[in-house]
Amino acid sequence: MPEPMVGGGVRPVIRVGTQVLSKADIIKLSTKEASRQLNLYEFATQTTVKTTKTGRGISNAMRRNGRQIVRSWDETRPVDMSHVDKAFAFLAPGERAIVRATLRTYNRSQGARYTKVAVRAAKIWNKRYPNDPILVR
């Protein structure tokens, strides 16, 4: 379903539930990092990983080290090592990504709120516009 643009022409969009999304909207949702105040331990645990075809690129040692660093800041709530710049579903195998320790509640709420909608939208986009680059694997 195209959307009219100023000056003529159309901008391709898709509908996901009640939302009408453009390709730019899907990409924006896929980044998942809302503006918020970061904890210092998030900077202390930030590192770069390389994703694989079946994995996030985050080793058990990274997870363990992240938890230890977070605990040293007197944080007792559970943490995840999470992808920062782009949701995992949007990372191609072999792509480098930034990860850091994030409170589990924040990381998983962001995934539920943004990533699931973005993945669903990207899959619809891929089917509707097969000649465009694939947005999600």
Strand, coil or helix: what is 3?
strand
- Of residues 126, 131, 95, the one with CA closest to residue 23: 126
pLDDT, one tens digit for every residue, the chain (137 residues): 555 555 556 667 766 666 677 777 766 665 555 556 777 888 888 889 998 877 888 999 999 999 999 999 888 999 999 888 777 777 888 889 889 998 888 888 776 667 777 777 878 877 887 777 666 65
pTM: 0.61
Amino acid at 8: G
How far is the C-alpha of 31 from the C-alpha of 53, rounded, in Å? 20
